Amino acid sequence: MKKSLGYTLIELMSMLAVVSILVSVGLPMLNVFFDSNRMVSNTNDLVAGLNIARSEAIKQQSRVTLCQSSDNASCTGSGQWEDGWIVFQDPNGNATVDGGERILRLNAAADGQVTIRSNDVSNLIASSVSFSSRGLPKALNGGTQSGTFRICDKRGLKVNADGVSTVARGVVLSPSGKVRSTNQLANIASCP
């Protein structure tokens, strides 16, 4: 009796059927995984940028600003946060990178599918956040800066009955300067 070392046609077809089922179920889940990972990464980048600006302001005993920047060299108030941002020393407190002011951190533009917007009706954090030497977020006019940044992607804003977002993320800047990420986004109307 001769021993066969290959596969039969029936075994090959069965294996292909199982692989095709696994791929058809697994691929959509893989896209959800990548989208969720992108959201978390962009949220963490913004939290890190705000925390670095605050800690550097305290450490250097000088105003430090985080502002929108599409060119990684200057503040662009006309863009959006997803275009990128910079953290820089801002001793004169004008929220503009002037000669001699050192850039401390750069963050490139987010993936084209991610939007980062401030949910601030009074525009206190619309284009920049500035920390005083005490680590407090202070606007150029001396008022307190606080608010929420919403980070969304192509999936939009999906909030369950408890007010918890299953997709979008938020970064909350408190008047004391503390920064935290959240998925409690019931008060956010929509994602762009």
Instruction: State residue 121's pLDDT score.
Output: 57
How many residues does the structure list for the chain? 192
List the pLDDT tens digit at each of the 192 positions of the chain.
Answer: 677 677 788 988 999 999 998 888 877 778 878 888 888 889 999 999 999 999 999 999 999 999 999 888 888 767 788 899 999 999 988 888 888 899 999 998 887 688 888 876 566 778 889 999 999 999 878 888 888 888 888 877 676 666 666 678 888 899 999 999 887 765 555 666
* DSSP state string for 110-175: PPTT-EEEE--TT-SSSSEEEE-TTS-BB-TTSPBP-EEEEEE-TT---B-TTSBBSS-EEEEE-T
Instruction: State residue 131's pLDDT score.
Output: 94
Instruction: State residue 140's pLDDT score.
Output: 79
Query: Which run of H or of E encompasses 30?
Result: helix 9-60
Instruction: State residue 94's pLDDT score.
Output: 86
Single pTM value for the model: 0.80
Query: Which residue's entry shows tokens 């046609």?
Result: 9
Instruction: State residue 163's pLDDT score.
Output: 62
Instruction: State residue 39's pLDDT score.
Output: 85
